Chain A
Amino acid sequence: NAGVTQTPKFRVLKTGQSMTLLCAQDMNHEYMYWYRQDPGMGLRLIHYSVGEGTTAKGEVPDGYNVSRLKKQNFLLGLESAAPSQTSVYFCASSYGSGNLGTDTQYFGPGTRLTVL
């Protein structure tokens, strides 16, 4: 049981390049999330998904797109990378019970992205 895994671990991009970050979970969780972590700002939600084929915007969605074609995978895309997108990106997943108050999120190890 690997939990939540993220690919790649590190990446350096030039401004304007595109890339896709892959998140996979083997816990049969319904809900998946993408966050970015910046110094002194905690984690901010980019996009999330409450099930296969569905996605929704979080707090900071601009410049990112997501897809959830399979229940176990959640992809985060950057179509035209900007230096402001330099950050550490975390994926998380949760069971997605009816009572969201009790729903605990489990996090991947993160992807460190630098945009030059």
Chain B
Amino acid sequence: AQSVAQPEDQVNVAEGNPLTVKCTYSVSGNPYLFWYVQYPNRGLQFLLKYITGDNLVKGSYGFEAEFNKSQTSFHLKKPSALVSDSALYFCAVRGLSGSARQLTFGSGTQLTVLP
């Protein structure tokens, strides 16, 4: 069965500093990986995805994520955090067959950017 782990429930970072939200995954075969963001009382918004090709994926709002196959990781990064980036972030993985074709989400990481 496929799975996603987000080892940090909470990440705090000062505005202007770089941020990293960690994600590791387990899936049979090549993974399709996604990051979503959820602002308070809102639905999830798509940020970026890795399908194939370049290991560094660029997405919305200046976010990027680095795919590392050997470490089975897909960490979300941003060079300079903004207070408005404070939100709940979800990593998700999709496999290629059967029930694995559905998205499996991590438990989420609450990012707080301090002014």
Given contacts A40-B107, A41-B107, A58-B102, whether A100 and B49 have CB atoms under 8 Å apart is: no
**Do residues B94 and A42 form an inter-chain contact, with CB atoms below 8 A?**
no
CB-contact partner of B105 in A4, A42, A106, under 8 A: A42
> Is A90 an interface residue, CB under 8 A from the partner?
yes
**Do residues B42 and A110 form an inter-chain contact, with CB atoms below 8 A?**
yes
Interface positions of B from 58 to 115, Cβ below 8 Å from A: 90, 94, 96, 101-103, 105-108
B: number of interface residues (CB 8 Å): 23
Residue in B43, B105, B106 whose Cβ sees the most chain A Cβ within 10 Å:
B43
> Is A104 an interface residue, CB under 8 A from the partner?
yes
Residue in A40, A45, A92, A101 whose Cβ sees the most chain B Cβ within 10 Å:
A101
**Do residues B42 and A109 form an inter-chain contact, with CB atoms below 8 A?**
yes
By a CB distance below 8 angstroms, the chain A residues around B46 are 104-106
- Distance in Å: Cβ of A26 to nearest Cβ of chain B: 15
By a CB distance below 8 angstroms, the chain B residues around A58 are 102
By a CB distance below 8 angstroms, the chain A residues around B32 are 100-102
Bound CA–CA A101/B46 (angstroms): 14
> Is B8 an interface residue, CB under 8 A from the partner?
no
- Distance in Å: Cβ of A19 to nearest Cβ of chain B: 20
Contacts A/B (CB < 8 Å), 9 sampled = A43-B44, A48-B102, A58-B102, A59-B102, A102-B32, A107-B45, A109-B41, A109-B43, A110-B43
By a CB distance below 8 angstroms, the chain A residues around B105 are 42-44
**Do residues A45 and B49 form an inter-chain contact, with CB atoms below 8 A?**
no
Bound CA–CA A110/B9 (angstroms): 22
CB-contact partner of B94 in A41, A101, A109, A110, under 8 A: A101
By a CB distance below 8 angstroms, the chain B residues around A48 are 102
